[in-house]
Amino acid sequence: MTELWTTLLPLAAAGALVPIQIVLVVLLLRGGGGVLAAAAFVGGMTAVRIVQGLVFGLIVSGTEANGANGPGTIASVLLVALALLFYVTAGRTALTEEDPDAPPPKWMSMARSMSWPRAFAFGAGFLMIGAKFWVFTLSAIAAIEDAELSRGTSALTFIAFVALSQAVLLTIVGVGALAPKRSAAVLDAVSGWLERNNRSLVVVLGLVFGTWFGLKGLSGLGVI
């Protein structure tokens, strides 16, 4: 189980720290839809992750497991692919000064006035079109299956992974709901800082997580 969480925790952290999703939640929270729209956006993302877990968990469950010795072949290949994705994103961002994962500017403007049903669909769509989000979830599913846990424990572990992946967004929504006036200035400051420093954050996080996942995946494949 310890070996499993050395894979799941970095995956959850990488998913939780994507800057643009934090900016979007703050925009929704401070927009016309308020807390309900922000919560619906997070709910849409969560719903897609749960469906991915149900569908792809069944597919991966029939593959050969590697137990506690490290991630199996599927998980390792996915981790290497994720590392390459992080490196490519970091490189493109450094060269073009744009985040390849960022939604179109029109979507950012729309977020300020979205109703909660549209925000839910927006959250689901945002996660579905993000390549890194897919690899985060698929890597977690493969790693859980490789650990050869019971079906119930596997389900609980995946739910814990999803909760950790959404922890930052859920915290922002919770703070906005419990202390809307006090949190407004802080959330605006955080959102503004993330927007100004998005390029640097994407590059640094891309290199850090890319290196970690690359080493983890290559180790699982027996390359290093």
Q: Quick count: other Cβ atoms within 10 Å of Cβ 19?
A: 21
Q: Where are the domains of the chain?
A: 2-65+99-195
DSSP character at residue 197: T
Predicted pLDDT at 66: 47
Contact 102, 20 (CB under 8 A): yes
Residues 6 or more apart in contact with residue 11 via CB below 8 angstroms = 136, 139, 140, 143, 161, 165, 213
* CA contacts within 13 A on the Cβ side of 120: 6
As averages over each run of 10 residues, the pLDDT of the chain (224 residues) reads: 87 90 89 90 95 79 49 81 89 76 70 89 90 88 86 92 95 90 84 83 90 88 84
pTM here is 0.82
At 167 the pLDDT is 95
**Amino acid 199: pLDDT:** 83
* 6 to 50, 69, 98: CA distances (angstroms): 21, 12, 31
Closest CA to 88 of 215, 198, 216, 214: 214
